[in-house]
A and B are shown apart, each in its own frame.
Chain A
């Protein structure tokens, strides 16, 4: 049975145990943001600069750090025993770690971003008299940012449970390995496609000539095939986090120290 009390105890432990380290990271990010805003007011053309440009990178980086840290006790046998023997079932421990490294991290950094932004713009306007407007992210961009962060987080979250030693290095190596394999497969598919379609080169570059082999069910870029491919890839990208989170849960459940 899932107990909210045990879950909140686990979340509290995650929060307080990482408070100093993660607090320092948050402070560094806030200082970085202040510097970005400072430069914004000294750039000469402040209205053309997107102050939320760095948000994606920062959120992904922090979600990676928090995902690795949230299971840091598993790196050593003594702390691993302490973690596994805590009175909470796997689902409660997992949920607390998941919430901490996903929604909590995302919200904390997003809120910090907005607070620093509004404060910096207000103070900057007061001092310089520019009258710069407050910027904001629309929902679709926020959603993109969220899904992108969750994608990266889920991979490192799984890596953090799966690899007890050096999870960051090993997960990064696996990710690069996967990228290489996917690139090889993609280039093979592209080669197959090119062999089954004609390409004419002219002075303005190259243009596609339609001689597509129907058996391969391939089509031209921008047409149904590529649109479908993009949709399929999107679905896969949405499914990967759920797959990683599920795998992380079962790995944690079966983990032996």
Chain B
């Protein structure tokens, strides 16, 4: 669905963001894009959406160059930025104004999302809190039925129950023909939603693997002590004890701790590359 080939991008000569970056995103996946502040997550998403142009290399969306911003491409891609903008109208006014631009817009999905988020469609958007406005924007994005949904920090501003509702709604709309790309620092919020992890660091992709592939290679264990433990690849102290990462040599089934995986990847990039043959 999205193919980034040998992309180079820099904001200035001194500030290179990507060097020869290549990445392929396929349908039927929920991607979690992780990276430190300034690693280029939003820049990568903007390049995919055609809001920024690579200096060299290419970025294609559904076979179309993203920088050309063809209407056919924009009908199939929805970008929800971290800071959202909504006009000063009611929710239904917003719908009347913008839904017509999306050929596959599903009003039932929108209504369902709104009722799930407990949003009153007659309320003026300017009277809503940031979180409520974000819920309207998320509902709209999901209802567009675009093949590619790009959400930048979608859970920022959402209250605790809404985060769960978001996970539920997002999982519902994704099928084999669609993909959802979530850029986030709130890994705990989306841990159980993400099925493919992409980690950006130092202008390159450190990891681009499904959670299944990661679990095949790594085991995450919580230990009270690290004494007498063999083969620890990485460990972190938490209030609950140590979370240690081991190589999965015995097909052990464990749950990925995204925070630990991210820290391990950024602190030991060579090890991650070696393990995942990058």
Contacts and interface: CB of A to CB of B under 8 A. Distances in A.
A84 B70 CA distance: 11
B85 A79 contact: yes
Contact of B51 (A1, A79, A89, A257): A257
A17 B51 contact: no
B168 interface: no
Contacts, number: 66
A77 B84 CA distance: 9
Contact of A85 (B70, B77, B83, B87): B77
A89 B67 CA distance: 11
Contacts of A89: 69-71, 74
Interface in B72-106: 74-75, 77-79, 81, 83-85, 87, 97-98, 100-103
A13 B85 CA distance: 15
A79 B69 CA distance: 17
Nearest to A82: B85
A81 B81 contact: yes
Interface residues of A, number: 28
A17 B100 CA distance: 15
A256 interface: yes
Contacts of B70: 89
Contacts of B100: 9, 12
A23 to B, nearest CB: 14
Interface of B: 46, 49-53, 69-71, 74-75, 77-79, 81, 83-85, 87, 97-98, 100-103
Nearest to A254: B53
A234 B51 CA distance: 39
Nearest to B96: A16
Contacts of B53: 254, 256
Nearest to A9: B101
Contacts of B51: 81, 84-85, 256-257
Contact of B74 (A16, A85, A253, A256): A85
Nearest to A13: B97
Contacts of A82: 84-85
7 A-B pairs with least C-beta separation? A79-B85, A78-B85, A87-B75, A87-B74, A89-B71, A78-B83, A257-B51
